[in-house]
Amino acid sequence: MPEDYLLTIKVLEQSCFGSAGCNVTYRIEVTSLYLEEVDPNATYELTYEVQGGEDTRINTLQITGATYSVDEQEMVSTPSEATELVAVVTAVSRRGM
């Protein structure tokens, strides 16, 4: 379930251009809250949205047991330096089902 996972955004680099906004390079970090039991041997696909940028970014990562696989870097443009990016889980599904 989406509420079983908490996503945080780790900003790796930010380049700002005055009123033109910023380019932000980030990586998603996952915390599992395990509100429901999950099969530790199964692989789950977790789809998320990164909100706050000029465009909403949608991506999917994989979780197997306590390990997860994410893109090392993602990038988004923001309208200003003060913009806060937020990652929201939109779906979780068991791979192969």
Task: Residue 9: give the domain boundaries.
Answer: 2-94
**Which pair of tokens denotes residue 38?**
């999950």
What total number of domains does the chain contain? 1
pTM: 0.85
Report the CATH number that the domain containing residue 13 is assigned in CATH: 2.60.40
**Which pair of tokens denotes residue 31?**
């915390």
Helix, strand and coil content of the chain, in percent to the nearest 5, comes to 5, 60, 35
Per-residue pLDDT of the chain (97 residues; tens, 9 = 90+): 667 888 999 999 999 998 899 999 999 998 876 656 677 888 999 999 999 999 999 999 998 877 888 889 999 999 999 999 999 999 999 887 6
For the stretch 7-42, what's the b/e string if a residue is b when 16 or more beta carbons lie within 10 angstroms of its beta carbon?
bebeeeeeeeeeeebbebebebebeeeeeeebeeee
What is d(CA 28, CA 3) in angstroms, rounded to the nearest whole number?
16
